[in-house]
Amino acid sequence: MASPNFSITRRVEFHETDAAGIMHFSNFYRWMEVCEHEWFRATGLAMMSTTPEGVRLGWPRREASCGFVRPLRCGDVVRVTGSVADVGTTSVTYEFVFEKDRAGKWTEVARGRMSTVHVKQDSAGRMEAEPVPEKVRDVLAPKA
């Protein structure tokens, strides 16, 4: 079975642009994270949670990258599509495609990749990798 994917559509806002009127590169990373969070919400998964014992669980980033093909400007409508590249023992790696709406035709403007690790954090703030929960694995890496 093919890996599932999830898309969000956003409009580039003025505050996301630099002095040249081009979307600042850091926003591509933010939008990858927004896509991931919306994906989790849409499937009923939690990005962050706390066990009854007070142990916090979450998904910090291990690695992120993005390659840029074309600029985005204020007002551009953009579709960000995330797909799962890999689900490891304790991590999930996503790939993202950014496409700009150009007169009803989607044109690729960037590609990103992000790896996250499922962790538990104790009261002292130390994080330790934990296995990817089965519920997450079932949603992001369904069996054929």
pLDDT tens digits for range 28-60: 999 999 999 999 999 999 999 998 988 899 999
pTM confidence score: 0.92
Mean pLDDT score of the chain: 94
pLDDT score of 19: 93
Contact 130, 90 (CB under 8 A): yes
- Could you tell me whether strands 56-58 and 61-68 are parallel, antiparallel, or unpaired per DSSP bridges? unpaired
Contact 111, 35 (CB under 8 A): no
CATH 3.60.110.10 fits 5-140, yes or no: no
pLDDT tens digits for range 64-92: 999 999 999 999 999 999 999 999 999 99
Distance CA 78, CA 58 (A): 28
